[in-house]
Amino acid sequence: MASTSDSDKPSVSNVEEKRSRLCDEFAAITGSDSAVAQCYLAENEWEMERALNSFFEADMERVFEDFPDTQASPKTKRQKVEEKRPGDCIDLTADSPASTRKPPEEDDNKLSLISWNVDGLDTDNLAERARGLCSYLVLYTPDVVFLQELIPPYVQYLKKRAVSYLIIEGGEDGYFAGMMLKKSRVKFVESQIVTYPTTQMMRNLLVAQVNFKGQKLCLMTSHLESCKGHAEERMKQLRVAMQRMREAPDDVTVLFGGDTNLRDTEVAKVGLPPSVCDVWERLGKQEHCRYTWDTKTNSNKTVPYISRCRFDRIYFRPATKDGVPRLAPDHMALVGLEKLDCGRYTSDHWGVYCSFSAG
């Protein structure tokens, strides 16, 4: 006689459908075929994250073989720190960061975006941290990704592993910003690099024109000048970005995001065009998304003080032309809040996830 619990078991067809979908997702992110996907998934009990980590492990060291010694003393490594000021230490609220992930293709008409400073200049555990980024791409399947502090080997790795994305680079040497566009959803038209004439930190503005579901989008990302002492240059750079947003054609939706290093007082001095909004502010200034640089929670950088800042920001300007679909921000969350197996986070910054729906 059959057990009474048999009726509670998933049907064979449902299991096959789920595993077939997992194989398709695995193959898309790794650039492998279904046989390879099935092998890695089966060996890892059909858990996507474990299977991806196993796959990426194979030749990771070769991709990063030109990196400097990853065990170098912390004293010799670049540390991104801000000067401590009285009053800078603000307690976080008890709110838990949002964990809602983008649902499957039922949100077909929503545009999703992740912006993240991946801290490529910190070479400690960089291989595992790059794998961590790819795991988040699998989990959230963003249409657009803005990245800052990329270095050439990191880009090489992404090109090998995130093959379902087109990667646009904002530079070739040192470190730079970049974009990733999901090929099946976002159609690339053209891109350009806008220089900041007086930058002392190799910063620029990366601009891409794309189409999404028949809508024209202008995507912009940048890593604005760092540190409190460079506020004037940072505000100059913000003015360049805001001018681009303001002057875009009225049938184009504009998104600008990245590691802006901005303080609210600096934004107030520059001023936002009337048509441009700060997405975090538009969505109600939710506390769980406020601090993207948080040395109390994020231990990747060893600093002798606590600093919480909203350095990573997303700005939005909708299309205004009659008859053109209007996107509007509807959700924001922080990503990268889980420690990796190495005991560190994917970056010293949290990533910012946003979604936009047609109004």
Same structural domain, 305 and 166: yes
pTM above 0.85, yes or no: no
Residue 24 lies in a domain: yes
Residue 164 lies in a domain: yes
Same structural domain, 153 and 20: no
Residue 230 lies in a domain: yes
Q: How many domains does the chain have?
A: 2
Same structural domain, 205 and 304: yes
Same structural domain, 170 and 26: no
> Is 312 marked active-site?
no
Given the residues 259, 278, 294, 348, select the one marked as catalytic.
259
For 99, 186, 191, the CA distances from 214, given in Å and listed in that order, are 30, 10, 18
Same structural domain, 193 and 119: yes
Element (H, E) at 205: strand 204-212
Please give the DSSP secondary-structure letter assigned to residue 322: T
Could you read off the pLDDT tens digit of each residue along the chain, which spans 359 residues? 444 445 554 566 678 788 888 888 777 666 677 778 888 888 888 888 787 767 755 545 555 555 544 443 333 333 333 333 333 332 222 233 333 444 444 468 899 999 999 999 998 999 999 999 999 999 999 999 999 999 999 999 999 999 999 999 999 989 999 999 999 999 999 999 999 999 999 999 999 999 999 999 999 999 999 999 999 999 999 999 999 999 999 999 999 999 999 999 999 999 999 999 999 999 999 999 999 999 999 999 988 889 999 999 999 999 999 999 899 999 999 999 999 999 999 999 999 999 999 86
Element (H, E) at 264: helix 264-270
Burial level of 225, CB count in 10 A (0-12/13-18/19+)? buried
pLDDT score, position 27: 77
Residues 6+ apart with CB under 8 A from 117: 147, 148, 149, 223, 258, 259, 311, 312, 347, 348, 349
Same structural domain, 341 and 225: yes
Strand partners, 147: 116, 178
| Count of helix runs (H) and strand runs (E) in the chain | 9, 14
Same structural domain, 202 and 271: yes
CATH code at 188?
3.60.10.10
Same structural domain, 27 and 129: no
- By DSSP bridging, strand 144-150 and strand 111-117 are parallel
Residue 67 lies in a domain: no
Same structural domain, 43 and 187: no
Distance from C-alpha of 47 to C-alpha of 62, rounded to nearest angstrom: 26
Residue 303 lies in a domain: yes
Same structural domain, 157 and 304: yes
CATH code at 35?
1.10.8
pLDDT score, position 59: 45
Domain encompassing residue 23: 12-58
Residue 274 lies in a domain: yes
**b/e 236-273 (16+ beta carbons within 10 angstroms → b):** bbbebbbebbeebeeebbbbbbbbbbbbeebbeeeebe
